[in-house]
Every structure is written in structure tokens, then in C-alpha cells.
Amino acid sequence: AIAAPGSPPAAQRRASRALAVGSVAVGGGAPVSVQSMTTTPTSDVEATLRQIAELTAAGCQIVRVAVPSQDDADALPEIAAKSGIPVVADIHFQPGYVFAAIDAGCAAVRVNPGNIRKFDDQVREIAQAASAAGVPIRIGVNAGSLDQRLLAKYGKATPAALVESALWECSLFEEHGFTDLKISVKHHDPRVMVAAYRELAGKCDYPLHLGVTEAGPLFQGTIKSAVAFGVLLAEGIGDTIRVSLSAPPVEEVKVGIGILESLGLRPRRLEIVSCPSCGRAQVDVYKLAEQVTAAFEGFPVPLRVAVMGCVVNGPGEAREADLGVSSGNGKGQIFVKGEIVRTVPESQIVEALLEEAMSHEWPVRSE
């Protein structure tokens, strides 16, 4: 992790086995990756590939597609071949689709062997096929789909029940010598989810895929995921993340990346340090912060840009910013590294910030 200046050293990452999900390393100390899932019918190859391209452009590193029907399974070869990022096939019950996904060139499969055993026990054959193809498997235990036996034993989806279920599912592959596994134990309540992952982290060394399931719409889901992932990642737990939102999947990717950036687990691309505004503000801070964010989106250097509503505390409060503005009297004081370099009319603030950004050399920040 990238430590903030003056902060205690970042938590040691939990030691986990290294897996390769196509070109993306997961576990074994690899950077925490961001995943999402398509919402298009997988059988609609064109729409699915379009959405995968949008997700890839947003920074998604691994994409999962649902495979509930034969038509979806039939679409996998083209999707896997044309996707710019590794594709994970999500399968619930049908062993035939697992073999199809492996043959199609999918980078991984999410399947719970407990489900496969109930219908047509081909766990051994799946383990052999996945092993031969070098395809890892994710065991995905959710509160809603907990095994009846464990539900009866624990009464509900407690952290211990989720963990026992996941490790039992793993054992069904382990008995065939297959250990290229990663695990998720998702729950809609961040407190249960955090407790489950903590317990799981101490009981195995498989890479962990973090997720709060049914987290909700954008605002609520972002908060739940940020809280739960934040606790775990700050403790060094978690190898890959998927934010689940009732919102377009690109939003999941943005939130996931934002969480990793906030924790210093990947370098920030752009940070807007804007004040919350108060009675001293002499400019519409919200609007100006939005305009500056839009203007700097995609700027090639990861800058920290301050937007301050008044000159009283402006440059002082934002001393660690690369550049910024503090407003007053219809003007903007533009400062670079805490020093005021010029004053411009309010209407020219954004333009002046961009000019200053482009006319300076910016060292690569280490925090």
C-alpha cells in the first residue's frame, strides 16, 4: 500500500496463494484488482461486448458474465476471444456450462461444487478440466444461497456459517487435488461480511474476492462497500473486489477504484481537495468543484487540485495540493504549491488552473 505522509505503516497484506485470472494476477501480493459484472443477456454478444468495452475503459480489470442458459454458454467463445479483459463465467448448476466456459477460453469460472453435486456429480471432471486448462475457480458463498444443512445448523447466515460453507465447498475440489481457488463470502450487512472475511482469512490462504451482496442503489451501495472493503483492505485482507450496485456496472468500477485509491492501494489519478463551503464562501464551491473535476478528468499527471471557497483559509488549508484556487470578491487566487501565482476573474478560474497545470513539471508523487 502507498502510505500517507506521517501515517503509520500500511497493514501487511495477508499472504495468499497466487492465481492467474487470464492476464490478471490475483493473490500472492498482486495489486488488488477491480471486477464488475455485465448486465446484458450474455447471449447478446454484441451488447455484452459493448458493455465490456465500457467497463474496460472505466478501469475494470476482470469481468464476469452470467451463464444461465445454453444460448449464453454458446456465446462464450466469441465474448472470451473479443473481450479486452479476462472473462469469468458465472454458473450455478449446470456442469455442462462449466466445461463450455473452459473450452471457450474463459479466464475463470465461478461455480459452487455443492450445487453441481446435487444434480449431476461431475466435480472430479470439472477439477480435471480446469486444472488442464489452467482455469481457476471462484467459490462464491452468498447469504441467500447458503446450504440448507448449514442454515439448519446456524439458524441464519452467520459469519461462521458462511465460512464453513465456503471451506466445505473448497474441500469438494481439494479432494480431487484442485486448489486453484478463490473465495467470496458475501452478505448484505457489512458487519457480517467483515466478520466472515476476517474469519476466513485466518483459516485458509486462498485469495479472497471481496463483495457486499445486494448492497443497494448507488449511494447506499457505495457507502456499504466503502465501509466494508475499507475495514478489510486496511487490515490487509482482500485480493480482488467487486462493488455490487443497483446501478450501471461502470459505476461499480468507479467506486471500486475510488476505494482502492482512498486506501493508497493504487495511485490516485486525480484528487480534488475541495472545501465543504461555509458562511465565508464567496463562490459557489459545489459548482466550481464540479467544473474543475470535469476539466481535469483524464489529465495525464495525477494532480491534487484544491478548490477553496474563500481566501481566509484557502492556500493554507490546501498546502499539500499541487495547485488550487481560493475565491473572493469575484476573483480567484490561483496558487501552485501553496504560493499565490496570480489572480483572475471568477469566470477564468478553471482555464487558469489548466494553464498552470500544463506549464509546470509535476514530480511523480509517492503518497
* Binding region for ligand SF4 (CB under 6 A): 275-278, 280-281, 308-310, 312-314, 317
- Minimum distance, C-beta of residue 97 to ligand SF4, in the bound complex (Å): 55
- Minimum distance, C-beta of residue 281 to ligand SF4, in the bound complex (Å): 4
266: its cell numbers: 493504487
Was 106 annotated as part of a binding site?
Answer: no
- Minimum distance, C-beta of residue 307 to ligand SF4, in the bound complex (Å): 9
How far apart (Å, rounded) are the C-alpha atoms in residues 23 and 321?
35
Give the strand pairing for 270-274 and 137-142. Answer: unpaired
Closer to ligand SF4 by Cβ: residue 22 or 314? 314
Closer to ligand SF4 by Cβ: residue 97 or 335? 335
How far apart (Å, rounded) are the C-alpha atoms in residues 161 and 270?
41
- HSE toward the beta carbon, residue 355, CA cutoff 13 A: 11
- Minimum distance, C-beta of residue 297 to ligand SF4, in the bound complex (Å): 23
Closer to ligand SF4 by Cβ: residue 239 or 322? 322
Cβ atoms < 10 Å from Cβ of 355: 14
Was 204 annotated as part of a binding site?
Answer: no
Was 170 annotated as part of a binding site?
Answer: no
257: its cell numbers: 477504484
- Minimum distance, C-beta of residue 296 to ligand SF4, in the bound complex (Å): 19
Was 278 annotated as part of a binding site?
Answer: yes
How far apart (Å, rounded) are the C-alpha atoms in residues 68 and 42?
9
Residue nearest to ligand SF4 (CB): 309
Give the strand pairing for 108-110 and 137-142. Answer: parallel
Closer to ligand SF4 by Cβ: residue 105 or 309? 309
344: its cell numbers: 483572475
Main-chain phi, psi angles of 185, to 5 degrees? -130, 85
Closer to ligand SF4 by Cβ: residue 42 or 326? 326
Could you list the residues known to form a binding site, using ranges. 275, 278, 310, 317
